[in-house]
Structure formats: C-alpha cells, structure tokens
C-alpha cells in the first residue's frame, strides 16, 4: 500500500512517500534526514506523539503548569493520558524538567513540567 505522509519532526514538513506491507515499512522516499526515516517507521508501525497539556496547581504563583511527555507516547493512549492529567494537582515549587509522573501510563516516558514555578 502506498501512502503519503508529512513528516512532523521539524517545520520543514517533508512529504514522505511510503510503501507498507502487513503493517511494516518496505520502501521510503522523500525524507531529508534520519529523523524523517524514524518518523515514517513509527507512523506505520506504531504512531506516537509527544503530548503537551497543562495541570492545575494549588497555592502556586501560576494557576496552570505546562507539561509534556518526555518522549512520544502511543497515539492510542492520548485520551487516557488526558484523563490522568486532569486529576493532577501540583502543590510544590517546580522547575522545568521536573518529573511529575514517572513512567507515565507505563509508556516508558515521564510526564515532565515545562516551566518553573514557585510558591
């Protein structure tokens, strides 16, 4: 099956032409760097995304702390991830990169803060 994908790894947005058989990538054209190749394989075999969102704080200077997954997580987990994120409350000072939930949903990726915030 031939498919056109747009690589989302960088703003260039290369159009990748891929052939897949039985859920495996067999031919790839149009990528301009190794990241594009990795993206195409993941997109065919197990599409993943970095999830970004915000979590509510209690008693901190900012009302919301932005967060993200440290690595891409399976697209199919995103709904579940959001329903977990909604439940979190941050009550302590936090620094960019601090882990909020380790091994988030068993994905191997951590949920990390992306902004500093003190009390």
Partner 1 sequence: MAAAIAAHESGVKDILLLERDQYLGGILNQCIHTGFGIEYFKEVLTGPEYAQRFIKEIKKIPDIEISLKSFVVDLTRDKTLTFIKPGILEKVKARVLIMATGCREKTREMIHIAGTRPSGVFSAGLAQKLINIEGLLPGKRVVIAGSGDIGLIMARRFMLEGAEVRAVIEIEKKTRGLLRNVVQCIEDFEIPMYFNHRISKINGKDRVESVTAVKVDDDLNDIPGTDVRFDCDTVLISVGLIPENELIEMAGVQIDKKTNSPVSHELNKTSIPGLFVCGNSFKVYDIVDSVSLDSEIAGRLAAEYLRKKI
Q: Give the residues lining the site for partner 1 (CB under 8 A).
A: 5-11, 13, 15, 49-54, 56, 62-64, 66, 68, 75, 78, 82, 96, 114-116
The single-letter DSSP state of residue 77 is G
The single-letter DSSP state of residue 47 is -
Q: In the bound complex, what is the minimum distance in angstroms from residue 6's beta carbon to ligand SF4?
A: 8
Query: Is 14 among the residues that bind ligand SF4 (CB under 6 A)?
Result: yes
Neighbour count for residue 36 (Cβ, 10 Å): 20
Cβ-in-10-Å burial (0-12, 13-18, 19+) of 106 comes to exposed
10 or 50: CB nearest ligand SF4: 10
Query: Is 13 among the residues that bind ligand SF4 (CB under 6 A)?
Result: yes
The single-letter DSSP state of residue 75 is G
Residue 68 binding: pick among partner 1, ligand SF4, none (C-beta 5-8 Å cut-off by kind): partner 1
């Amino acid at each position: 099956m031939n498919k056109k994908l747009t690589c989302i790894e960088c703003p260039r947005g290369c159009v990748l032409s891929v052939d897949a058989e039985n859920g495996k990538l067999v031919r790839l054209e149009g990528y301009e760097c190794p990241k594009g190749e990795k993206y195409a394989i993941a997109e065919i075999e197990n599409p993943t995304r970095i999830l970004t969102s915000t979590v509510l704080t209690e008693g901190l200077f900012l009302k919301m702390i932005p967060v993200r997954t440290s690595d891409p997580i399976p697209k199919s987990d995103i709904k579940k991830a959001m329903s977990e994120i909604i439940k979190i409350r941050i009550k302590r000072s936090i620094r960019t990169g601090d882990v909020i939930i380790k091994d988030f949903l068993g994905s191997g990726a951590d949920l990390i803060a992306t902004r500093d915030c003190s009390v």
